[in-house]
């Protein structure tokens, strides 16, 4: 069991660190100004993200999970997780480019040219649309309908909600019911739907920097060639998309929690109360210690789930555990760091309150805490994982 990073991993992280220091960190002040001016949630704008992604590309930080034949560097999940942690040390929300939704790789050759390749290149923007006002965690209950006309075209009707990048996307990967009787077992189909085909989006203001959209489909006509995969086989694809994020989302949560802990530690050493730095008091020390314990544990959970993925092993159980732990850790650490800062932590003078609001999302999106726990418990009850067993 070797927990050391390889020389390659160290060097790539050095490159990431260099990018973070030279390109991302200088934007933190700008982000804080935007926050004070009341539009922090919209920071950074698309233009800035595009510029940063292009800059990162110069460092070779591009398509880190994209296969080499599609122009990526395919560094594997463990490296991607380490990079996510490193990037998250900067408070400016940012993701590397050269990426496309994993399920687009199931597209046919023609679709790959039209959707996958331009998405990887950053020329097109996608969004993944399954959640509906009446179907969130219970995604099998979606109602959006897709009815095939005699000519072959499909007509889509319905609403999607909380769609990440839904406002920016020029096409959506949409899941709709094509056979009510069969439902999730053969009755849901994935479609690639251009915005120009007629769907509309509306921004949903939230308490954090996540700005999802509500998508509306009213008699949107989609050609038969835009079915992703096979008719009726959409649900497993959707689950594959959701499963993919369960390692990298907590990786980002770990990185953010690490930065928060550093901010808390620095402040505790510098802030004097009752004649001593507050770091001298046990109440503060325990907050720091609890945070360090949880961050360390979560980091190992994430890396274990990532390792299993790289080894081609079934990591769904570990990924659920990592996703849950990441969400919990980021929230607890954010809460403690606000507490360590006292009144200052509650103000918009410091970036802590923004993170405090932002990390709340981890417990909700891409599988709520409760859904993760349900999966974990089911795995135990069904005997698909054994307690105390190593891989």
Partner 1 sequence: MHVVVLLKQVLDPEIPQKAFDVDPVRKVPKVERAPQVLSIFDGNALELALRLREARGDATITALTLGVERADEVLRKALALTCDAAVRVGADPEALDSRQKARLLAAAIRTLEPPDLVLAGRQAADWEAGQVGAMVAEELSLPCVPFVSRVEAAEDPLTVRQQLESGYAVVRLGGPSVCTVTNDETNVLRAAKVKDVMAAGRKPLRVIAPEEIGGISGLGPAVELLALELPAKRTGAEMVDAGSAEESARALARRLRELGAI
Q: Which residues are catalytically annotated? A: 366
Contact status: 64 vs partner 1 (CB under 8 A): yes
Contact status: 110 vs partner 1 (CB under 8 A): no
Min. distance of Cβ 56 from partner 1 in angstroms? 10
Query: Given the complex with partner 1, which of 17 and 113 has the nearer CB atom?
Result: 17
Stretch that binds partner 1, among 15-23, 28-36, 44-52, 106-114 (CB under 8 A): 15-23
Distance separating alpha carbons of residues 238 and 189, to the nearest angstrom: 9
**Residue 129 β-bridge partners:** 174
Contact status: 11 vs partner 1 (CB under 8 A): yes
Stretch that binds partner 1, among 5-13, 24-32, 137-145, 242-250 (CB under 8 A): 5-13
Q: What is the CA 178 to chain-centroid distance, rounded?
A: 28
Contact status: 276 vs partner 1 (CB under 8 A): no
Residue 239: which of 125, 146, 139, 136 has the closest Cα?
139
Which distant-in-sequence residues (6+ apart) come within 8 Å of 370 by Cβ?
Answer: 137
Which distant-in-sequence residues (6+ apart) come within 8 Å of 107 by Cβ?
Answer: 115, 116, 192, 228, 229
Query: Given the complex with partner 1, which of 8 and 311 has the nearer CB atom?
Result: 8
Contact 322, 305 (CB under 8 A): yes
Min. distance of Cβ 12 from partner 1 in angstroms? 5
Contact status: 15 vs partner 1 (CB under 8 A): yes
Distance separating alpha carbons of residues 149 and 87, to the nearest angstrom: 47
Min. distance of Cβ 17 from partner 1 in angstroms? 8
Min. distance of Cβ 75 from partner 1 in angstroms? 7
Which distant-in-sequence residues (6+ apart) come within 8 Å of 352 by Cβ?
Answer: 260, 263, 334, 337, 338, 341, 345
**Residue 132 β-bridge partners:** 135
Contact status: 10 vs partner 1 (CB under 8 A): yes
| Residue from 1, 2, 7, 283 binding partner 1 (CB under 8 A) | 7
Contact status: 59 vs partner 1 (CB under 8 A): yes
Query: Given the complex with partner 1, which of 10 and 185 has the nearer CB atom?
Result: 10
Which distant-in-sequence residues (6+ apart) come within 8 Å of 266 by Cβ?
Answer: none
Min. distance of Cβ 34 from partner 1 in angstroms? 28
Contact status: 61 vs partner 1 (CB under 8 A): yes
Min. distance of Cβ 87 from partner 1 in angstroms? 14
Residue 152 region by backbone torsions, left for phi larger than 0, else alpha for psi between -120 and 50, else beta: left
Residue ranges in contact with partner 1 by CB under 8 A: 7-8, 10-12, 14-15, 18-19, 58-62, 64, 73, 75
């Amino acid at each position: 069991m070797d927990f050391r990073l390889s020389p390659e991993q160290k060097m790539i992280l050095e490159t990431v660190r260099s990018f973070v220091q030279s390109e991302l960190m200088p934007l933190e002040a700008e982000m804080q100004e935007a926050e004070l001016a009341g539009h922090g949630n919209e920071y950074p704008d698309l233009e800035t993200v595009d510029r940063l992604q292009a800059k990162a590309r110069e460092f070779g930080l591009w398509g880190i999970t994209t296969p080499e034949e599609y122009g990526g560097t395919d560094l594997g999940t463990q490296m991607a997780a380490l990079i996510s942690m490193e990037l998250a040390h900067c408070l400016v929300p940012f993701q590397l480019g050269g990426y496309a939704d994993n399920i687009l790789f199931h597209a046919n050759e023609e679709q790959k040219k039209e959707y996958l390749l331009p998405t990887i290149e950053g020329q097109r923007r996608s969004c993944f649309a399954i959640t509906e006002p009446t179907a969130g965690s219970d995604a099998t209950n979606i109602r959006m309908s897709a009815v095939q006309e005699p000519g072959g075209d499909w007509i889509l009707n319905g609403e999607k909600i909380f769609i990440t990048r839904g406002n920016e996307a020029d096409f959506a990967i949409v899941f709709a019911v094509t056979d009510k009787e069969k439902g999730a077992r053969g009755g849901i189909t994935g479609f690639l739907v251009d915005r120009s085909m007629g769907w509309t989006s509306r921004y949903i203001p939230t308490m954090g920097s996540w700005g999802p959209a509500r998508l509306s489909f009213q008699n949107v006509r989609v050609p038969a060639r835009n079915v992703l995969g096979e008719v009726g086989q959409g649900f497993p694809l959707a689950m594959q998309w959701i499963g993919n994020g369960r390692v990298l989302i907590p990786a980002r949560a770990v990185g953010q929690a690490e930065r928060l802990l550093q901010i808390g530690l620095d402040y505790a050493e510098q802030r004097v109360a009752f004649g001593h730095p507050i770091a001298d008091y046990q109440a503060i020390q325990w907050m720091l210690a609890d945070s360090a314990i949880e961050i360390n544990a979560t980091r190992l959970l994430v890396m274990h789930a990532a390792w299993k993925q790289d080894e081609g092993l079934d990591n769904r159980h570990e990924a659920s555990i990592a996703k849950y732990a990441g969400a919990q850790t980021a929230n607890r650490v954010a809460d403690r760091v606000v507490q360590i800062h006292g009144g200052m932590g509650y103000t918009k003078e410091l970036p802590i309150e923004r993170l405090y609001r932002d990390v709340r999302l981890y417990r909700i999106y891409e599988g709520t805490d409760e859904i993760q726990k349900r999966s974990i418990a089911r795995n135990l009850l069904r005997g698909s994982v054994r307690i105390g067993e190593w891989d």
